[in-house]
Amino acid sequence: MRHILNTLYRLSGALAAVGMVATLVMVTAGIVTRPLGIYLEGSDDYAGYAMAACGFLALAYTFKHGEHIRVTLLIDRIGGAFQRSLQWIALLVGCAVSAALAWYSLRLAWQSHAFGELSQGVDATPLWLPQLSLAIGATIFFIAMLDDLVMTTLGRPCARLAQPGQEPVRME
């Protein structure tokens, strides 16, 4: 199961990287072609969609690398069972917030599909397509938060993604 979850987190990170490259390509194409009198319709919109996808798809990957901003000033100074309790409560709250984010992102994409909503730009993209990347990223982030909550509840260290060729890092 650990291998499947880590693969999911890495795949999400890889898709985020693809979104970042797509943003770069669309912005660069717009910059290069405008002085030539060529306008790539929808390039600004697609760059925005790719940037949003990049941000949401990277959530789980960066969380499992321990790169999210965490408030540890207080928790690091407290030891023992109280520290573990505070970490567990923080993970529980994080799970609740990420579950709500995932649920409403999925619901938004579903409703956009059901109502046939289109973007206001010249590209007239069905909005559920870019919203789907947000929903997927938020759902994978919820899975990552739930993963850490379960590990903490079981009294095990939370697994962190290792760099290629390294052993997995265990965070306590």
Q: Which residues, 6+ apart, have CB-to-CB distance to 169 below 8 Å?
A: 66, 159, 160, 161, 162
At 2 the pLDDT is 84
Let me know if 8 is exposed, middle or buried by CB neighbors in 10 A (0-12, 13-18, 19+): middle
At 71 the pLDDT is 63
Within the chain, which residues score under 50 in pLDDT? 168-172
At 84 the pLDDT is 82
65 token code pair: 């690398």
